[in-house]
Amino acid sequence: MAEIKQISLFVENRPGRTAKVAKTLSDAGVNIRALTIAEAGDFGVIRMVLDDPEKGYKVLKENAFTVSMTDVLAVEMKDTPGGLYDIVDALGQNSVNVDYAYAFVTAKAQRAMLILRVDDIAKARKVLGEKNVKIATKEEIQAI
């Protein structure tokens, strides 16, 4: 199964840099499904799930951004207390480490969506599958 491609960007922490990213994607007609910014003083890393990651990667690269593509999991999460716990506990029990995660809700989706970057994506997929956790496909993310 094709993994979901997250786009990550290295950006210096100065005014206008995030706007430049948003403008580049907007001009290319690429939609941002989810976004998170991790900052570390003078620089930060922007991580995004896009409706068209290949195109997004291409236009950002053309505009001289430092970009990388990372495989992540998009997991459907019950929007009730304990929803996150079920997922991360299953991964923890099976020694899959979560490097980072961020969540988003959409108007259409019934449930919250959790984006996970883990050290062993195949194993995470298996563990979560066994727990009957629904993992979104590339097409589903595109269609949100």
Partner 1 sequence: MSGYWDPHIERMPIEDLHALQEDRLKSIVRYVYDHSAFYRRKFNEAGVEPGDIQCLADITKLPFTKKVDLRDNYPTGMFSAPKSQVVRYHVSSGTTGKPTVVGYTKGDIETWSESLARALTSIDLGSGDVVQVGYGYGLFTGGLGLHYGAERIGAGVLPVGVGNTERQIELMQDLGTTAIACTPSYFLHMMEVAEKMGISIRNDTELKVGIFGAEPWSLETRKRIEDSTGINAYDIYGTSEISGPLFTECYVKNGIHVWGDMFLTEVIDPKTGEHVPDGERGELVFTTLHKFALPLIRYRIGDLSIMTNEPCECGRTHPRIMRILGRTDDMLIIRGINVFPSQVESVLMNIPEVGDHWEIVVDRKGPLDMMTVRVELTETGFSDKIGDLMKLKKKVAKDLKGVLNIAAEVDLVEPGTIPRSMGKAKRVTDNRKV
Residue 85 or 100 with smaller CB distance to partner 1: 100
Q: Are 24 and 31 in contact (CB under 8 A)?
A: no
Least distance CB 10 / partner 1 (angstroms): 5
Indicate the residue among 45 and 84 with the shorter CB distance to partner 1: 45
Q: What is the dihedral of CA 122, 45, 76, 79, to 10 degrees?
A: 140
DSSP 8-state class, residue 73: E
Q: Pairing relation of β-strands 43-50 and 32-40? A: antiparallel
Q: Supply the minimum distance, in Å, between the C-beta of residue 117 and partner 1.
A: 8
Binding site for partner 1 (CB under 8 A): 6, 8, 10-12, 38, 40, 42-43, 45, 47, 64-66, 68, 70, 99-100, 117
Phi, psi of 20 (to 5 degrees): -65, -35
| Between 86 and 120, CB nearer to partner 1 | 120
Cβ proximity to partner 1, 69 vs 88, nearer residue: 69
103 bridge partner residues: 114
Q: Are 8 and 67 in contact (CB under 8 A)?
A: yes
Cβ proximity to partner 1, 1 vs 40, nearer residue: 40
Minimum Å distance from CB 138 to partner 1? Answer: 19
Q: How far is the CB of 37 from partner 1 (least distance, A)?
A: 11
CA-angle at 17, arms to 11 and 20, nearest 5°: 120
Q: Residue 111 Cβ, how far from partner 1 at the closest point, in Å?
A: 26
